[in-house]
Chains A and B, each alone.
Chain A
């Protein structure tokens, strides 16, 4: 069965610092991987996705993620945090063995200090 683990339910960074949100997945077949962002009292928005091809994926708002098969990871990064990046971030995985349904991680709340 597929699963997703997001290390750190809360991450705090200073404005301008590197953002690193960790995601590890478990899947028995090549996965599709997604990062979503949720602002308070709103739905989720897609940041980026990996399906096939280039392992470094660029998304919106300056975020990117790298698919590392050997490490079963899909960590989300941004070189310089902005106050507006404060939100909750969800990693999700799907694979054909699970009927291509998404499994979400527990989420990581990113706080940005001025």
Chain B
């Protein structure tokens, strides 16, 4: 079955360490997205990519980095510069620009930094 796989499901890190969250899709979607979810704040867009080797900052990109070397993969690195990294991170994809086609989501990675 096609879908989006995020790994790991739970991740624990010490403050000051960079950490990379994996996102893989086999839906053949062009566009991929990373969202951060905090209680009561809905979803906030971190980065998105509409084509391989290209990506744009979202609303809260500071302290994060991404790459898009393959169509199927869009890893997110949470750097030590991110001041409040503990959150639930969701990866999504769509066939074209998200306003027209629905987003397909992975099951998320819960990151805890202590």
Q: Is the A/B pair a real complex?
A: yes
Complex CA distance for A96 and B105, rounded to whole angstroms = 23
Chain B residues with CB below 8 A from A107, complex form: 40, 42
Closest 4 CB pairs of A and B: A100-B99, A43-B105, A94-B99, A104-B42
A102 engages B90 (CB within 8 Å): no
A90 at the interface (CB under 8 A from B): yes
A34 to chain B: which residues have CB within 8 Å?
102
- Interface residues of chain A, those whose CB is within 8 Å of chain B, are 4, 9, 32, 34, 36, 41-46, 49, 51, 90, 94-96, 98-102, 104-107
B106 within 8 A of A: yes
Bound CA–CA A46/B98 (angstroms)? 12
Q: Name the A residues within 8 Å of B105 (CB-CB).
A: 43-45
Give the chain A neighbours of B13 by CB distance below 8 A: none
Interface size bucket, B side?
A: 20 to 34
Asked if B43 and A95 make an inter-chain contact with CB atoms under 8 angstroms apart, the answer reads: no
Residues 91-110 of chain B: 1 if any A CB is under 8 Å from the residue's CB, otherwise 0? 01000011110110111101
27 A/B residue pairs, CB under 8 Å, sorted by A: A4-B42, A41-B108, A41-B110, A42-B107, A42-B108, A43-B4, A43-B6, A43-B90, A43-B107, A43-B108, A44-B90, A44-B92, A46-B102, A46-B103, A51-B100, A90-B43, A99-B97, A100-B98, A100-B100, A101-B48, A101-B98, A101-B99, A104-B42, A106-B41, A106-B42, A107-B40, A107-B42
**Does B51 sit at the interface, judged by CB under 8 A?**
no
Give the complex CA separation of A81 and B64 in angstroms. 40
Chain B neighbourhood of A96, CB < 8 A: 99
Which residue in chain B gives the minimum CB-CB distance to A94? Answer: B99
Query: Closest residue to B4 on the A side, CB-wise?
Result: A43
A32 close to B108 (CB less than 8 A): no
